[in-house]
């Protein structure tokens, strides 16, 4: 089971937000749920996109993250 912070951010979300490509790869390799959303409905893909982490975005897309996900504010990764 993936650990989650108080706000619902998983290790994958935090790594994607910070652009930590190798950490993203590591947690995905160990079974992280690629499209899990935090308490705001944001996914790791959205976090990476908001912060311009292109390589992390590519890695998440290779692992079937959902481009069409919408958070509670109406934002999508696109």
- All structural domains of the chain, each given as residue ranges with its CATH number in brackets, are 11-62 (1.25.40.20)
Q: Which residues of the chain have pLDDT under 70?
A: 1-6, 65-66
**pLDDT at 1 (0 to 100):** 44
**pLDDT at 27 (0 to 100):** 95
What is the rounded CA–CA span in Å between residue 38 and residue 15?
13
**pLDDT at 74 (0 to 100):** 81
**pLDDT at 48 (0 to 100):** 95
> Taking the complete model, does pTM exceed 0.85, yes or no?
no
């Amino acid at each position: 089971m993936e650990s989650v912070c108080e706000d619902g951010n998983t290790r994958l979300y935090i790594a994607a937000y910070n652009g930590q490509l190798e950490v993203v790869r590591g947690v995905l390799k160990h079974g992280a749920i690629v499209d899990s959303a935090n308490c705001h409905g944001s996914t790791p893909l959205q976090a990476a996109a908001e912060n311009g982490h292109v390589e992390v975005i590519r890695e998440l897309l290779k692992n079937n993250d959902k481009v069409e996900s919408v958070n509670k504010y109406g934002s999508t990764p696109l």
